[in-house]
Amino acid sequence: MSDINTMRLDKWLWAARFFKTRALAQKHIELGRIKVNNERIKNSKYIVVGDVVDMNLNSLPHRLTIKGLNMQRRPAPEARLLYEEDAETIAKREHMKLLNQAADMQTYYPEGRPTKRDRRQIDKFKQDW
């Protein structure tokens, strides 16, 4: 089924620069992180222009509509022409990124980084404990 109008999903994900290798793309497909037209699929799934790909990369949602197929991995500006992202998903992903950044900042240093004096007091407290 190697037609000009169809392409394996793992190869397309690699060509569209979502993954560095096809093996990584295959792993994500096997783990069920990638769906085509709201269905769980296998690595050998052939896609066509117009299919909708839903995936979770680094716990962030992506919803893509396939606009083109390319058998070779091309530069990033050309790769972006292969798909169109859903505006709602982009907004949701950006919101989740901001929440994650805010949570990380509060978790590590709620009142700012400890000073050298604070660090010594923490170490002394740990030794006495």
* Per-residue pLDDT band at 100 (split at 50, 70, 90): confident
Domain count, the chain: 1
In a domain, 109, yes or no: yes
> Domain range for residue 115?
7-128
Task: Note whether residue 102 is domain-resident.
Answer: yes
Could you please report the per-residue DSSP string of 100-114?
Answer: HHHHHHHHH-BTB--
Residue 99 lies in a domain: yes
In the predicted model, what is the mean pLDDT of the chain? 89
Q: What is the pLDDT of residue 64?
A: 94
Strand order in the sheet with 39-40: 39-40, 34-36, 52-57, 60-66, 83-85
Residue 93 above 60 pLDDT? yes
In a domain, 28, yes or no: yes
For residue 23, the domain's CATH number is 3.10.290.10
Q: Is residue 1 part of a domain?
A: no
